[in-house]
């Protein structure tokens, strides 16, 4: 038989025997447990029978105590017995349901118990009614004792049946436990025998071929280990050379990247300078345009000031005319006052009007004088402003000329910076191409280095695995 047949067959047989033994043990334990439960069940029935009998005795004791003393405290036992009696009967009924004969006896016991409680209730009621003679007659009739004796006999009969059932059930438990113990020992012996047989077959069919394979593995692993050691030495030497080359190329790549970064920075700075020159040119152009517009605005303001001067002259002329009119009006008012004086009473009202007109004429004359003074002041200020405006126009003209010259200089600077930007772009492009080419060389060298490292790692792992295999073969030989 082959190894793949012996091992599954042998262990399967052992597994089946162990499983059968475990199932048989479980089945026996269940049967034994059930039998023990029936034994416990019998003890519970006997206990409830004793409790029922004691309960009736307690009820009778309470009744006799009350009859003798008249103290109703003794009736507590009677009332308590009435409450507990149905519970005991229910417990017995639930446990005897499988035995018809016992159920019949329990039914008869229930009738006797009811009769007993009825007898006790009658005597208690007679005592409570004060019928002492009737109480004595009832007690003397011995009816209560007869019922109690019948109850005891019935309980004893039921207890006897339960004792017989208890003996049968205990005997059943002993037999079941004996057979369970026998089956366990028998199964254990069968399992040990089959296990020994399987071990012998495994030793015969498996161990001899394993010895032969182990010897072959040990011999081959030694040869592989020697070859792996030689390859590992060569691969380590190659990896060291490639590592040095990779380090040199990395340094060259770093230098190229640094040059590319510097060229990129120079290009960036030149572009920023070009932007600044263009911005300066725009600012100068805007300044020149602003100065030109300012010059035009000042010329317009100068023309408006000239017009204002003419208007001021007209105001002075008008003020002179107003002054003349005021003088004439004053003269007319004076003549009107003279005429009013001549008219005496008829001219009093006209005299008042003439006086008011004269006051208005004086006020008009004073206002005209003030207007004339202001007009003279404004004319002087306008003349000074015109002089200053003319000087400003000359200064702005000079600023416009300087702005045009500055714009020309900025144009020349922008052209020079633009040439520098173009040169830096060529330099940056060339440097970046060189950096990319060197980086590709670095990557290729790193790939070769990684492959060499992996080769060395693989050889090392092969060597380690071979050593482990050789050690395992030696251990297996030692074990065999």
Using alpha carbons, select from 54, 49, 64 the residue that is nearest to residue 119.
Answer: 64
- Residue ranges per structural domain of the chain: 3-212, 245-479
- Confirm if 53 and 155 have CB atoms less than 8 A apart: yes
Sequential pLDDT tens for the chain (480 residues): 565 666 677 667 767 777 877 787 787 678 877 878 888 888 888 899 999 989 999 998 998 899 888 888 988 999 999 999 999 999 998 888 888 988 999 999 999 999 999 989 998 998 888 888 888 888 787 788 889 899 999 999 988 998 988 888 888 888 888 888 888 888 788 888 877 876 777 666 666 666 665 666 567 666 656 755 675 676 576 567 656 756 765 775 676 577 667 767 766 876 786 787 678 778 657 867 876 886 787 678 678 868 877 877 787 787 777 788 778 888 887 887 788 778 777 777 777 777 888 888 788 788 878 877 887 886 787 677 678 667 766 776 776 677 677 667 566 756 765 775 676 677 567 666 766 765 774 576 577 567 666 766 765 776 687 677 677 667 656 655
Alpha carbons 402 and 395: distance in angstroms, whole number: 11
Percentage of the chain surpassing pLDDT 90? 8
CATH 1.10.3720.10 fits 245-479, yes or no: no
What are the φ/ψ torsions at residue 2 (nearest 5 degrees)? -90, 165
Alpha carbons 267 and 426: distance in angstroms, whole number: 10
- Which strand (E) or helix (H) includes residue 345? none
Segment 60-97, tens digit of pLDDT: 899 889 988 888 898 899 999 999 999 999 999 888 88
pLDDT number for residue 138: 80
- Confirm if 45 and 96 have CB atoms less than 8 A apart: yes
pLDDT number for residue 441: 47
Q: What value does the CA radius of gyration of the chain take, rounded to a whole number of Å?
A: 70
Segment 112-141, tens digit of pLDDT: 999 999 989 998 998 888 888 888 888 787
- Confirm if 249 and 442 have CB atoms less than 8 A apart: yes
State the DSSP string of 360-424: HHHHHHHHHHHHHHHHHHHHHHHHHHHHHHHHHHHHHHHHHHHHHHHHHHHHHHHHHHHHHHHHH
Q: State the residue for tokens 């417990």.
A: 91
The tokens of 205 are what? Answer: 């069919």
pLDDT number for residue 322: 73
- Confirm if 25 and 180 have CB atoms less than 8 A apart: yes
Alpha carbons 158 and 332: distance in angstroms, whole number: 167
State the DSSP string of 3-71: HHHHHHHHHHHHHHHHHHHHHHHHHHHHHHHHHHHHHHHHHHHHHHHHHHHHHHHHHHHHHHHHHHH--
Alpha carbons 455 and 204: distance in angstroms, whole number: 43
């Amino acid at each position: 038989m082959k190894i793949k047949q012996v091992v599954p067959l042998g262990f399967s047989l052992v597994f089946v025997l162990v499983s059968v033994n475990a199932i048989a043990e479980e089945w026996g334990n269940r049967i034994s447990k059930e039998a023990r439960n029936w034994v416990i069940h019998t003890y519970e029935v006997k206990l409830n029978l004793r409790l029922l009998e004691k309960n009736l005795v307690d009820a009778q004791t309470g009744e006799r105590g009350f009859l003798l003393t008249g103290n109703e405290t003794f009736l507590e036992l009677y009332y308590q017995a009435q409450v507990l009696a149905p519970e005991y009967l229910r417990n017995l009924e639930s446990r005897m349901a499988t035995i018809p004969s016992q159920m019949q006896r329990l039914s008869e016991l229930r009738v006797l118990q009811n009769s007993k409680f009825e007898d006790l209730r009658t005597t208690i009621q007679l005592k409570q009614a004060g019928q002492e003679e009737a109480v004595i007659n009832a007690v003397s009739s011995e009816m209560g004792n007869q019922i109690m004796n019948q109850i005891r006999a019935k309980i004893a009969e039921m207890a006897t049946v339960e004792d017989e059932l208890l003996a049968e059930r205990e005997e059943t438990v002993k037999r079941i436990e004996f057979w369970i113990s026998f089956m366990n020992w028998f199964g254990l012996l069968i399992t040990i025998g089959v296990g020994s047989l399987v071990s012998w077959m495994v030793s015969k069919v498996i161990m001899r071929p394993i010895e032969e394979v182990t010897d072959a593995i040990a011999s081959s692993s030694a040869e592989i280990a020697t070859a792996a050691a030689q390859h590992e030495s060569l691969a380590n030497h190659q990896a060291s050379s490639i590592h040095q080359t990779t380090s040199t190329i990395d340094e060259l790549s770093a230098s190229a990247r640094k040059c590319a970064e510097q060229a990129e920075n120079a290009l960036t700075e030149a572009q920023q300078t070009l932007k600044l020159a263009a911005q300066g040119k725009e600012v100068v152009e805007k300044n020149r345009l602003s100065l030109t517009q300012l010059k035009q605005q000042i010329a317009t303001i100068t023309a408006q000031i000239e017009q204002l001067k003419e208007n001021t002259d007209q105001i002075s002329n008008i003020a002179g005319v107003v002054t003349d009119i005021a003088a004439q009006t004053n003269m007319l008012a004076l003549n009107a006052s003279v005429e009013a004086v001549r008219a005496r009473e008829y001219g009093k009202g006209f005299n008042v009007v003439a006086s008011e007109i004269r006051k208005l004429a004086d006020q008009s004359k004073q206002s005209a004088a003030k207007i004339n003074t202001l007009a003279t002041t404004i004319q002087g200020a306008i003349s000074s402003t015109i002089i200053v405006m003319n000087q400003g126009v000359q200064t702005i003209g000079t600023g416009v000329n300087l702005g045009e010259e500055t714009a020309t200089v900025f144009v020349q600077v922008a052209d020079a910076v633009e040439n520098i930007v173009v040169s830096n772009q060529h330099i940056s492009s060339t440097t970046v191409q060189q950096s990319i080419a060197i980086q590709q060389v670095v990557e290729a060298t790193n790939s070769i280095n990684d492959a060499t490292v992996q080769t060395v790692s693989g050889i090392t792992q092969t060597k380690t695995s071979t050593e482990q295999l050789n050690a395992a073969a030696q251990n297996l030989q030692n074990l065999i």
